[in-house]
Amino acid sequence: MEINKKIGEALNSIKNKKPLVHHITNYVTINDCANITLALGGSPIMAEEKKEVEEMVSIVSALVLNIGELSERIVESMIIAGKKANELNIPVILDPVAVGATKYRSSVIKKFIKEIKFAVIRGNVSEIKAIAGIEGKTRGVDACSEDTLSKEENLIKAKKLAEELSKKLKTVIAITGEVDIISNGDKTYFIENGTELLSKVTGTGCMCTSLIGNYCGANKNYLLGALSGVATMGIAGEIAKENMLKKDAGIGTFKVELMDAIYKFSLKDIENRGNIYEK
């Protein structure tokens, strides 16, 4: 398929350009986000002090903002970094972790959207609904069970949500779940790759956003960047599960195998396993 070939080309761009990806993220998954960036071929930097973030952003290829662990200090640093990245035309990727769970998180995201232009926003369907102002429930970092994307009715609603929010915010929207939906408002792709085990390891969503940051840092087509990052995580998850089962092992082995699959990820994996289609 043509889209699989384009993802392969995007992957090669990372290997050749080795994008420097600046993360301002949470302490729970910071190490995993740094290591998955290295595994894919990029280079991570995790600076968060407001006195240096402008200077740091000026040398990077992409900026990833993750609100998993919030404080006023971190929010201030994120806004300073985001504005500087916009000034320099550096892509900013947002992971709105658990937005909608508290009024504070929702207010922070509203402020971000008002002050920062995002290249990509990646979240589960409950988080994206919260950004769109749709009333619903959220279970912390997890999507609410009533929002599950394995239901056809919910898929149709989520596609419409992604397209409308993308047009409104002028950004790529990536909704991840049982089926992933990536849209720039004009084109919408579905990805049917992945495994339920990705939800059994803390931080795989954060790591997926880091992958998107790498792809967007090496490719100026941000729809392709989001699509590539999400597809890479899904396919790598499938490979990791198969290798775990061969060893009759458990979830700790799955996490190691996931990192290995990202490190060894290739065009062949995309061509053999990619289940990606425009809809």
What residues are designated binding site? Answer: 46, 122, 176, 203
Which structure tokens are listed for 152? 């056809």
Cα R_g (the chain), whole angstroms? 17
Query: What is the DSSP annotation of 82-132?
Result: HHHHHHTT--EEEE-TTTTSSHHHHHHHHHHHHH---SEEEE-HHHHHHHT
Instruction: Please enumerate, by residue number, every residue annotated as part of a binding site for substrate.
Output: 46, 203
Beta bridge partner(s), residue 142: 139
List C-alpha distances in Å: 95 to 114, 206, 239.
16, 7, 25
Instruction: Please enumerate, by residue number, every residue annotated as part of a binding site for ATP.
Output: 122, 176
Contact indicator for 121, 171 with CB cutoff of 8 Å: yes
Q: How far apart are alpha carbons 31 and 152 in whole angstroms?
A: 36
Contact indicator for 122, 174 with CB cutoff of 8 Å: yes
Beta bridge partner(s), residue 94: 65, 121
